[in-house]
C-alpha cells in the first residue's frame, strides 16, 4: 500500500505519541496505536492498521524496556513467566481477530478501551510491595493473567500493557513502577507474536511501521525518563490518561456506528 508523504509524517508523529505513553505508563500507547493509524494517518483497512501497529508497538516496547532495565525497574523473573504464558494466548487471539470484520473489530476495540479507562481509575492509588517476587504460590495467578492478557493482545493487535500492568500488580503485589518496567517485556513478546501472524497474512505496511518505530524511539526515551521523575504523581496522570482513552473510545464507537 502506497501512502502520501504527509501520512508517513503523521505516522512518525503518532509513533512518538505511542512511544511516549509506553515509556510513561507501560501501556496505553498500544491502545492508541490503532486509532491513530486509522483516524489520523488514514490507513484504510482496520486489519492492516492492526498488523502494522503490532510491529511498531513491539519495537517501541523494546526501546522503553532498555531504559527501564538501566533504571532497575524490571522484575525479570515475573516478566518472563507472564510473557511465556501470554505468547500462546496472543497467537490464538491474532488468528481469531483476523477472521472478524474490520468495522466490528474496531467497535469491540472501543468497548475494550472503555473498560481499560475504568481499570485505570481503579488502580490510580495502588502502591505495591517493592519486595514482591514470583513464587510457586503466586505462579498460577501470574500464568492466568498472562494468558488472558495475551489473548486480548493478539485479538486486538495491541501490546496490552494497560492490562499487563494491573495484571502484574494484582498477581504479584509489585509496585506500579516495577509493573510498568516489567510489562514492557510482555508488550514486546505479545506484539511480536501478533505482528508475525499478521505479516504472514500480508497485513503489515512495512514503510509505515518503520517511520512509526522511528518516532516511537524518541518518544519512548522521553517517556521512560518522565516515568522516573513523576512517580509521586502517577495517580493523577493515570486519571488524565484514562479520560483520554475514554474520549477516543467514544469517538471510535461513534464513527463506526455511523459507518464512517
- Side-chain-side CA neighbours of 108 within 13 Å: the count stands at 13
Report how far Cα 105 is from the mean position of its chain's Cα atoms: 17
pLDDT for residue 205: 92
Q: How many residues does the chain have?
A: 260
Cβ contact 153:160 at 8 Å: yes
Cβ contact 10:40 at 8 Å: yes
Report how far Cα 56 is from the mean position of its chain's Cα atoms: 10
Per-domain residue ranges of the chain: 5-257
CA distances for 68 relative to 76, 114, 123, 162, angstroms = 11, 28, 21, 17
Instruction: Please state, in angstroms and rounded to a whole number, the distance separating the CA atoms of residues 166 and 145.
Output: 10
pLDDT for residue 131: 66
pLDDT for residue 1: 60
pTM to 2 decimals? 0.74
Tens digits of pLDDT across the chain (260 residues) = 667 889 999 999 998 888 787 677 655 666 788 888 988 999 888 889 889 988 887 887 787 788 788 888 888 988 999 999 989 888 888 888 888 887 788 888 888 888 877 776 665 555 556 667 788 888 888 999 899 988 988 888 776 777 787 788 888 888 877 888 888 898 888 888 888 989 999 999 999 999 999 998 888 778 777 777 766 665 666 676 777 778 878 887 887 777 65
Neighbours of 104 (CB within 10 A): 11
Instruction: Read off the pLDDT of residues 63-101 as tens digits, 9 standing for 90 and up.
Output: 778 878 888 888 898 899 999 998 988 888 888 888 888
Number of H helices, E strands in the chain: 10, 0
Rg (CA), the chain: 17
Secondary structure letter of residue 40 according to DSSP: I
Instruction: Read off the pLDDT of residues 125-158 as tens digits, 9 standing for 90 and up.
Output: 555 566 677 888 888 889 998 999 889 888 887 7
SS (H, E, C) 80-105: HHHHHHHHHHHHHHHHHHCCCCHHHH
SS (H, E, C) 160-197: CHHHHHHHHHHHHCCCHHHHHHHHHHHHHHHHHHHHHH
Amino acid at each position: 500500500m502506497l501512502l502520501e508523504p504527509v501520512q508517513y509524517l503523521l505516522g512518525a508523529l503518532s509513533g512518538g505519541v505511542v512511544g511516549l505513553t509506553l515509556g510513561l505508563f507501560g501501556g496505553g500507547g498500544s491502545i492508541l496505536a490503532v486509532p491513530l493509524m486509522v483516524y489520523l494517518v488514514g490507513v484504510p483497512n482496520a486489519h492492516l492498521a492492526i498488523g502494522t501497529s503490532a510491529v511498531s508497538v513491539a519495537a517501541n516496547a523494546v526501546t522503553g524496556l532498555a531504559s527501564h532495565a538501566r533504571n532497575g525497574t524490571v522484575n525479570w523473573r515475573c516478566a518472563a513467566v507472564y510473557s511465556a504464558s501470554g505468547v500462546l494466548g496472543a497467537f490464538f487471539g491474532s488468528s481469531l481477530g483476523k477472521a472478524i470484520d474490520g468495522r466490528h473489530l474496531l467497535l469491540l476495540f472501543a468497548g475494550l478501551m472503555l473498560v481499560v479507562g475504568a481499570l485505570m481509575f481503579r488502580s490510580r492509588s495502588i502502591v505495591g510491595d517493592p519486595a514482591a517476587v514470583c513464587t510457586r504460590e503466586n505462579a498460577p495467578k501470574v500464568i492466568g493473567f498472562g494468558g488472558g492478557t495475551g489473548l486480548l493482545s493478539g485479538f486486538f493487535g495491541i501490546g496490552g500493557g494497560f492490562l499487563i500492568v494491573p495484571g502484574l500488580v494484582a498477581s504479584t503485589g509489585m509496585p506500579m513502577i516495577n509493573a510498568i518496567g516489567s510489562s514492557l517485556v510482555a508488550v514486546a513478546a505479545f506484539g511480536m507474536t501478533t505482528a508475525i501472524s499478521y505479516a504472514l497474512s500480508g497485513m503489515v505496511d512495512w514503510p509505515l511501521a518503520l517511520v512509526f518505530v522511528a518516532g516511537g524511539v524518541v518518544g519512548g526515551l522521553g517517556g521512560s525518563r518522565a516515568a522516573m521523575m513523576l512517580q509521586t504523581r502517577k495517580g493523577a496522570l493515570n486519571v488524565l490518561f484514562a479520560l483520554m482513552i475514554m474520549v477516543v473510545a467514544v469517538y471510535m464507537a461513534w464513527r463506526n456506528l455511523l459507518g464512517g
